[in-house]
Structure 1
Amino acid sequence: MAKHVSEEPVTSVLPAGDGPFSADGRAFSADDEVLAALGYRSEFKREFSLFTTFCVSFAVLGLLPSFASTLFYGMGYAGTAGMTWGWLVAMVGIQSVACSMAELCSSMPTSGGLYYAAAVLAPPGWGPFAAWITGWSNWLGQVTAAPSVNYGTAAMMLAAASIQNPSYVPTDYQPFLLTTLIMLVHGVMSSLPTQTLARVNTVGSTFNIVALVVVLVLIPAGTDRESRGLPRFTSSKEVWGDIYPGTEFSPGIGVLMSFVAVIWTMSGYDSPFHLAEECSNANVASPRAIVLTSAVGGTFGWALQLVVAYTVVDIDGVLESELGQPFAAYLTQCLPQRLVLAILALTIIAGFSMGQGCMIAASRVTFAYARDDCFPLSSLWKQVHPLTLTPVNAVWFNCGIGILSLLLIFGGSVSVGALFSIGAIAAFVAFTTPIFIRVFLVGDRFRAGPWHLGRASLPVGAVASGFVMLMVPVLCLPSVTGRDWTAGLMNWTALVYGTLMLAVLVWWVVDARKWFKGPKVNVEHMMLGREGAVLEGAESEEAGGAQLTGVGILDKGKVGGEG
């Protein structure tokens, strides 16, 4: 006999032995009971399913446009070796992060996601600080995702124009204006009702998958390398064995640096966590969507890496092409022009869908954090539009920040590359902070949800934490060293991300620590309800890791007991 959801344990900010109740006497739905036990009232319609959540997540992952946008890093740092066996090594760490994140999602299915988990799991007194760091790092990764994706899409559109008309050379203001236009269109689309968004993203994700499969077939089938006096495919010995000297570091470090492409490409699997409050059966469907996105994305992504690695003609030519877009330059090396334009068209459409998925996910993160007053003017960003029942203000707040970040385009290719590396490092720090706390500071006190790793939980979490601790400094390395290292060739990641996070830390020390207490409870619950009080945005005194309550979820206003 199936267990009622009210019998499933959750990791809550509510005080021990406490639980939510419905003041009007109406019973909670199964998903609303879970959310209420976590301290939040339901504010969205639950119109996402496992499949549609996966579709949004896979659209955000956007393998084809992500690969096309980051080919400069994946191929440029280590060549084909980094794209083949390097991808497999990176996927071990990434899949570990995804599985550990899914376990947290099952226990705490809220839009706040990793931020909520960090607050609840942190040691006593450290919860608000853990939530503050995790939340801001996650937000930086989310808010730079759409502009970086849309910049890549705009660059491919302009590259296609250059292929059609070789005399056309885009100037800096053209990719800026085109990317801004795409951002504004996505802002309008992301403001639509949840049901419409689910349908649109289902279509977009389906197109992403179909386009990826088509490209995987078209490139090896249509390559004209033989007409250029080359074998149809490069030998496996060369593809797997030669490490391109794209940096002045050792070959091993070069391979690690190429992981920025893998990490950025595979960073969308956290989207189901942030959509949990709009998903039915969230504590099972959302973690499954996380793992499914990472596994399917990793497999298809590696296949795409292999196809390109075996057909690329000249890596230097790809990286230094006047087209300004390495993927377009690669295609011109091994395919006739008609196929080049066809593949670019598929990639551009897939990239447009991916950018819109990124904006949806980012808006849910902003809403969740504004609900807990993390941002200035949070009262504006946490509003849900009465007609669409979506966080429209949060959408346009992120859109404005994203457009401002596009000013990096005028600093050249190195500075705009910070959009990609910031997204990778910011997401990784946010992904792993609660995982690290859960593995090394919580231990057996963690209350798992219905989807969990069992005995493999701690080992998998340790692998995830170790991988991220290795990669964070690597992602900040420049490609050149010694006398060749100049301000123009520095890695802007450490400067941009580091400066922003330093400002967040200073804000914490000077002011935020006095008022920010982590996730805020906004439902009526028993301890206050017994006194007739209605809790509206007041913090739980136990928030921030003072204890892991694992409270049972109430059924029709009665305490269900501890899970």
Structure 2
Amino acid sequence: MADTIEKATVGDAELRQRHDRRQVEIIGPNGERKKIAVANMTHADTELAAKFGYNPVFKREFGYLATFSFAVSISGLFSTIMTTLSYPLEAGGSSAVVWCWFVSGAGCMCIACSVAELVSAYPTSGGLYFTISRLAPAAWVPSISWYTGWLNLLGQVAGVASSEYGAAQMLLAAVSMSRNFNYTITTDTTVGVMAALTVITGVVNSLSTYWMEKMTKLYVIFHVCVLVACAIALLVLTKDKHDASYVFTQVESSSGWKPIGFSWLFGFLSVSWTMTDYDATAHITEEMSEPELKAPWAISLAMAFTYVAGFLFNIVLCFCMGNPEEILSSPMEQPVAQIFYNSLGKGGGMFFTIAALIIIKFVTFTAMQSLGRTVFAFSRDRLLPFSNIWVKVAPWTGTPLYAVWISVFFCIAINLIGLGSYIAISGVFTVCAIALDWSYCIPIMCKLMFGKFEPGPWHMGPLSWIVNVWACLWTLFVSVIFVLPTAMPVAADNMNYACVYLAALLVFAGIYWFIRGRVVYTGPITEAVADDLSESEIVATEKTDKGPSA
């Protein structure tokens, strides 16, 4: 068969493929050439290679149920509400718990659907920073995707770290409950338990994708059963429940902010921390078949479930919580665990607290899997120092072990701040929501501004523009709130450290950009292509891909 050459643009590279069914030739951004022998690969692998310029290295083990379960597990609804209920309760009382979830959840759904639309069009492990190469003008791609990537990385590290800290609090709450509260929980102990739990998360993520998929598939069933059982038990067994007027209209605050309505807005943090990390599913798209369909459907449906179920569960907690001052001053330092104990007794309280611990550990397992794949993808595109190390995939597991364990290290490191100041830990929760949402809205804005977006099979049609705009406006609104101090008057022991973390990350990213990034980083790199493609398959694939300069 005579050789034929087709052209397509991938990043800043010219992609030329030789159609002899035995090899594919790549010409990279610096003129280097690679010929890759073909192998048996799935259609998703051929798309990853021919359309995005990446050599497939992962096994595609994730099906529809496992992908949906993965997306649900990222929110960890039952346990993350336990971890963050104190924020709206202190900010505005019962009404803030209920209505902040309702209002902010709608904004989060707009962000989630906007992310799902981008993931459907560009399903790679890099996630949304990669989409910049297809949405922004070529000259702007390196700098915009650089900062988008670093913001996303900070948000993911903070997300895993704060989840592990919450897991440590739940474990110690169960220990305290078992000892009839004759156990003093200190910050040092919590940090130590957090470190141990994070190492366990690293060990689990050292398993192959096959076992991760099996564990993930079971999670959503367990989560839903616990959530429903707990809601029914609380409603049936709580003796002195609040009335509807109290639940939906009671406003009180201990923050010191005036007017109290402004303090009430700080309640948005609970849902923003729970309903985030939407692109975690994007980071495992190279481990699923038909990622352009499975990933966006999983993101949108999982977040819709979290939004509705979270709203209803918050209402149940407000009906059954008793005196808010009592649960906020719980010796367990876990208000929701105190609600379980008050309403269900020691046995019921321990059961649901331990169930929450199991659920939040699933959150950390999946979030660490996403973070490890992100570090791998960033290293593949040379965003990180020592990229040649973190990009290695262990042959015996088929997973990026070095990327996983450097992630474990930094998740522990950021929580060590708690040894000096407990209030600094709350900043980790806050910066998770801010950094992740910023990393989503940057590519969404590029999509709106430059008109280069080519939708995938999952898209919102004529509603897309409206949803995208509201996602950006909502993120801007809550970002202003989240960087403000949550208590007045402001002092060193109650300031909001989220702005410190953000500033430190942006300064580091800026310095590293000028020292090395602008020299070695030109945007997502065309790596290598390998597939057993027929001539018609290659031509069909290339016709769907016009590249960033089309």
User: Is the shorter-chain TM-score for this pair beyond 0.5, marking a shared fold?
Assistant: yes
Contact 1:415/1:492, CA 8 A, preserved across alignment: yes
CA contact (8 A) 2:417 2:425 kept: yes
Alignment of structure 1 residues 127-142 onto 2, 5 Å: 127-142=141-156
TM-superposed CA distance for 1:18, in Å, is 6.0
Asked if structure 1 preserves the Cα contact closer than 8 Å seen for 2:151 and 2:438, the reply is yes
User: Given that residues 269 and 293 in structure 1 are in contact (C-alpha distance below 8 angstroms), is that contact kept between their aligned partners in structure 2?
Assistant: no
Taking only the aligned residue pairs, the percentage that are identical comes to 28
1:170 aligns with 2:185: yes
**Structure 2 counterpart of 1:33:** 46
1:50 partnered with 2:64: yes
Q: Which residue of 2 aligns with 1:3?
A: none
CA contact (8 A) 2:11 2:523 kept: no
Paired residues in the alignment total 518
Does the 8 Å contact 1:33/1:554 carry over to 2? Answer: no
Shift of 1:210: 1.7
User: Which amino acid is the alignment partner of residue 181 of structure 1?
Assistant: A
Cα contact 1:20–1:554 (8 A) shared by 2? no
Give the AA of the match of 1:59: S
List per-residue Cα deviations over 1:92-113 (Å, max 9, x = no partner): 1111111111110111000001
* Cα shift readout 1:418-449 (whole Å, capped 9, x = no counterpart): 2211111111111211111112x123x31111
Is contact 2:123–2:285 with CA below 8 Å preserved after alignment? yes
Q: Distance in 1 between matches of 2:52 and 2:141?
A: 15
Q: AA paired with 2:11?
A: V
Q: Which residue of 2 aligns with 1:244?
A: 252
Contact 1:26 1:556 in 2 (8 A): no
The change in CA–CA distance for 1:263 and 1:255 in structure 2 (over 3 A counts) is same
Instruction: Give the alignment partner of residue 13 of structure 1, picking from 11, 14, 39.
Output: 11
Distance 1:375 1:15, change over 3 A: closer
1:20 deviates by 8.5
- CA distance in structure 1 between the partners assigned to 2:123 and 2:459 by the alignment: 13
1:501 to 489, 506, 509: 506
The aligned amino acid for 1:562 is K
Q: Which moved more, 1:420-429 or 1:209-218?
A: 209-218
Aligned-partner Cα distance in 2 for 1:555–1:139: 39
**CA distance in 1 between partners of 2:232 and 2:17 (Å):** 54
**Alignment pair present for 1:427 and 2:436:** yes
Matched, 1:323 2:328: no
C-alpha separation in 1, matches of 2:261 and 2:205: 42
User: Is the 8 Å Cα contact of residues 94 and 251 (structure 2) preserved in structure 1?
Assistant: yes
Residue 78 of structure 1 and its aligned partner are, at CA, apart by: 1.8
Q: 2:421 & 2:353 partners in 1: Cα distance?
A: 23
Say whether residues 1:188 and 2:203 are aligned partners.
Answer: yes
TM-score when normalising by structure 2 = 0.89
Q: Which amino acid in structure 2 is aligned with residue 79 of structure 1?
A: G
Q: CA RMSD in A?
A: 2.3
Structure 1 residue 367: deviation in Å? 0.7
Name the counterpart of 1:471: 478
| 1:511 lines up with 2:516 in the alignment | yes
Matches for 1:357-436 after TM superposition, within 5 Å: 357-436=366-445
Amino acid at match of 1:206: I
Gaps of 5+ in 2: 1-7, 25-36, 545-550
Scaled by the length of structure 1, what TM-score is found?
Answer: 0.87
Cα distance in structure 2, aligned partners of 1:19 and 1:61: 41
SS in 2 for 1:367: helix
Alpha-carbon shift at residue 338 of structure 1 (Å): 2.3
- Residue 516 of structure 1 aligns with an amino acid whose one-letter code is Y
CA contact (8 A) 2:96 2:267 kept: yes
| Aligned with residue 350 of structure 1, among 345, 359, 381 | 359
Matched residue SS, 1:41: coil
Pair 367,486 (structure 1): closer, same or farther in 2 beyond 3 Å = same
Contact 1:58–1:268 (CA under 8 A) maintained in structure 2? no
Q: Kindly provide the CA deviation profile for residues 299-340 of structure 1, in whole angstroms up to 9, marking residues without a partner as x.
A: 111111111111121222222222222222333344422221
Q: Deviations over 1:76-125 (max 9, x none)?
A: 21221122122111111111111111110111000001110123212341
Task: Using the TM superposition, name which of 405-414 and 178-187 deviates more.
Answer: 405-414
1:427-479 CA deviation, whole Å, 9 max, x = no partner? 1111211111112x123x31111111111111110010100011111111112
Distance 1:360 1:560, change over 3 A: closer
1:486 aligns with 2:499: no
Is residue 50–residue 288 contact of structure 1 (8 Å, CA) maintained in 2? no
Match of 2:230 in 1: 215
Gaps of 5+ in 1: 1-9, 226-232, 526-552
CA drift of 1:15 comes to 5.8
Equivalent of residue 75 in structure 1, options 71, 75, 89 = 89
**Which shifted more, 338-347 or 191-200?**
338-347
In 2: Cα distance, 1:80 partner to 1:191 partner: 42
Output one character per residue of 1:51-72: Cα deviation in whole Å (capped at 9) or x when no partner.
1111122112111111111112
1:145-294 paired onto structure 2 within 5 Å: 145-165=159-179, 166-225=181-240, 233-247=241-255, 248-294=257-303
Contact 2:332 2:338 in 1 (8 A): yes
Structure 1 CA distance for aligned equivalents of residues 63 and 427 of structure 2: 35
